[in-house]
């Protein structure tokens, strides 16, 4: 029996992956290293909150691209976790015919690959926005295919699923794609070979070999059950080129919300959740009105009218940079939150005067914003998790409400990670 898994948390934020895994089994998941860096900011608030809660791990506060290969090699992590930014992953050849990165974006994913090359972890758990599966708009699915091919070249398999947290009993309608990546020499990978790929070449003519994996045997199928049917007959099978630049230039497959990549081939289908887990309504997350500081109430009539305008339907005449005139249309939404439903997705702009901010009407007909504590609850953090940060000199200070909201807009539903952690423990 494995006594512990040594964990490296990349793009750590305020510790969402770590919180989720420790809630799953704190004695199994031991996060020994973390990296958090907010580019372009002098104040490293998220790192300082992380460091306040977890002072005994090696917490690195520098750009991941500046962490050397030699440093990564000192981290004998069994598991790498992280929620990395969704960017442009197109690649191109340099004049010397080496693979390079087109433009300045996409660098951060390659640093994950660099960490894997140097550490050789058994597993990875990664998270991203669900639009990654359709990126870029000009060649949908290409970016994700590049990622799959990159892991395949290093000897890993990838299972993925788009999960809406509210559809699995949580309090926020937050859709994210989760990756379970495992090395092909692990016992789990060998078991999958025995079950489904004794004759790997037969997969070329029998795509149904992956059905049982996707519907019942995979990590996500076990912990996040789905209906045992392909939604609207949406499915696709694709063989990935060994040449990642070729994929970047020529990819033409589809990527649906559920899938598995093994040995350079992936099978993907569109699925729907089983639907037997009731979400938590927003009203069960909110603090009592008597607990709310007056600063969260909106008393300015102009601000109230501004929210009404932002949330209402509108048609606006605009002119593009090229001089083209067009009409921008936006549908209306409820003038305030329906607290009998799970929360809408939180964004980093939460708490500002904009359309996406949660706007609540109280029982006594007042209006207010959600509080930092309520935002933390929607991501399954403890109350006041982000309230205190630890500075470089060892002193502590409070974090601003605006920054606490920003943290939660960037965070993930740690309860989802807890369930992934529970299933990974069963797998190992």
Active site residues: 86
Quote the CA–CA distance of 100 and 154 in Å, as a whole number.
17
Tokens of 404: 């606490």
Q: What is the dihedral of CA 419, 425, 426, 428, to 10 degrees?
A: 140
> How many other CB atoms sit within 10 Å of the CB of residue 362?
14
Give per-residue burial for 76-92: e unless 16+ CB within 10 Å, then b. ebbbbbbbbebbebbbe
**56 near 70, Cβ under 8 Å?**
no
Radius of gyration over every alpha carbon of the chain, rounded to an integer in angstroms: 23
The string of DSSP codes covering 234-249 is: -EEEEEPPS-HHHHHH
Tokens of 134: 């359709």
Residues 6+ apart with CB under 8 A from 182: 122, 123, 124, 156, 157, 159, 188, 189
Quote the CA–CA distance of 244 and 150 in Å, as a whole number.
7
Quote the CA–CA distance of 329 and 288 in Å, as a whole number.
37
Residues 6+ apart with CB under 8 A from 124: 79, 80, 81, 112, 116, 156, 179, 180, 181, 182
Q: Is the peptide bond before 394 cis (omega within 30 degrees of 0)?
A: no
The string of DSSP codes covering 37-89 is: --TT-S--HHHHHHHHH-TTSEEE-S-GGGS-HHHHHT---SEEEEE------
Q: Residue for token digits 């914003």?
A: 369
Centroid of chain to Cα 20: 13
**370 near 356, Cβ under 8 Å?**
no
Phi, psi torsion values for 401, nearest 5 degrees: -60, -40
Residues 6+ apart with CB under 8 A from 392: none
């Amino acid at each position: 029996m494995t006594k512990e898994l040594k964990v490296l948390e990349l793009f750590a934020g305020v510790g969402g992956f770590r919180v989720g895994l420790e809630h799953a089994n704190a004695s199994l998941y031991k996060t020994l290293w973390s990296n958090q860096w907010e580019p372009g900011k002098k104040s490293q608030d998220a790192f300082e909150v992380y460091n306040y809660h977890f002072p005994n791990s090696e917490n690195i506060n520098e750009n991941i691209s500046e962490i050397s290969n030699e440093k990564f090699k000192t981290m004998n992590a069994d598991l790498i976790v992280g929620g990395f930014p969704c960017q442009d992953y197109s690649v191109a050849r340099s004049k010397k015919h080496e693979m390079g990165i087109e433009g300045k974006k996409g660098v951060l994913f390659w640093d994950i690959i660099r960490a894997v090359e140097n550490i050789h972890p058994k597993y990875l758990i990664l998270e991203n926005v669900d639009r990654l599966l359709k990126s870029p708009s000009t060649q949908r699915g290409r970016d994700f295919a590049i990622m799959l091919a990159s892991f395949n070249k290093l000897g890993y398999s990838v299972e993925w699923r788009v999960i809406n947290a509210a559809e699995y009993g949580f309090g926020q309608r937050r859709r994210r794609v989760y990756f379970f990546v495992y090395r092909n020499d692990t016992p789990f990978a060998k078991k999958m070979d025995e079950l489904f790929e004794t004759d790997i070449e037969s997969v070329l003519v029998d795509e149904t070999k992956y059905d049982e994996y996707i519907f019942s045997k995979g990590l996500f199928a076990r912990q996040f059950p789905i209906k045992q049917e392909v939604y609207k007959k949406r499915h696709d099978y694709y063989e990935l080129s060994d040449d990642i630049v070729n994929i970047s230039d020529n990819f033409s497959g589809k990527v649906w919300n559920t899938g598995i990549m093994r040995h350079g081939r992936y099978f993907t289908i569109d699925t729907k959740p089983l639907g037997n887990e009731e979400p938590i309504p927003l009203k069960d997350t909110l603090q009592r009105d008597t607990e709310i500081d007056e600063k969260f109430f909106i008393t300015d009539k102009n601000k109230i009218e501004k929210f009404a305008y932002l949330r209402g339907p509108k048609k606006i005449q605009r002119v593009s940079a090229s001089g083209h005139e067009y009409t921008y249309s936006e549908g209306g939404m409820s003038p305030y939150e329906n607290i009998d439903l799970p929360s809408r997705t939180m964004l980093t702009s939460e708490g500002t005067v904009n359309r996406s901010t949660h706007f609540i009407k109280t029982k006594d007909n007042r209006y207010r914003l959600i509080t930092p504590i309520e935002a933390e609850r929607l991501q399954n953090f403890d109350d006041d998790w982000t309230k205190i940060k630890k500075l470089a000199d060892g002193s502590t200070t409070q974090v601003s409400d605006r920054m606490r909201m920003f943290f939660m807009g960037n965070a993930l539903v740690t309860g989802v990670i807890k369930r992934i952690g529970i299933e990974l423990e069963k797998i190992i």
